[in-house]
Amino acid sequence: MTGRAEDRGLFKTPSLCNVAVTAPYMHDGSLRALEEVVEFCDAGGRRNVNLDPLIRLLQLAPDEKRALAAFLRALTTAAKEEARP
């Protein structure tokens, strides 16, 4: 932590490898499913004073949201998926 106000809320972006088996999502575990993550991102995240101005609404169509969630699931290896409880 730098202690600088402009760095508040910043964090390293984790890998998406095996993302389908790493729920819950977000730094606080507030999202339980990949579909919730896609909806959250589609809405432009949660507005706050530290939100990067480059973050914006995506306005994805329902089929695009389904495709994005499917893509994220495709990043999971078969062995990880089989081990999932």
Q: What is the pLDDT of residues 29-45, one digit of tens each?
A: 999 999 999 999 999 98
Sort 35 into a burial class: Cβ within 10 Å, 0-12 / 13-18 / 19+.
Answer: middle
Q: Is residue 24 part of a domain?
A: no
Structure tokens at 74: 């495709």
Question: Of all residues in the chain, what percent carry a pLDDT higher than 90?
Answer: 55
What pLDDT is stored for residue 25 in this prediction? 95
How many domains is the chain partitioned into structurally?
Answer: 1
Q: Please give the residue range of the domain that contains residue 49.
A: 33-85
Q: Is residue 73 part of a domain?
A: yes
Structure tokens at 47: 């507005």
pLDDT at 81 over 70: no
Q: Which amino acid is at 67?
A: A
Q: Is residue 69 part of a domain?
A: yes
Q: Tell me if residue 66 falls in helix, strand or coil.
A: helix
pLDDT band, residue 16 (cuts 50/70/90) = very high
pLDDT per residue as tens digits for the range 56-71:
899 999 999 999 999 9
Q: How many CB atoms lie within 10 A of CB 22?
A: 14
Residue for token digits 């202690």? 3
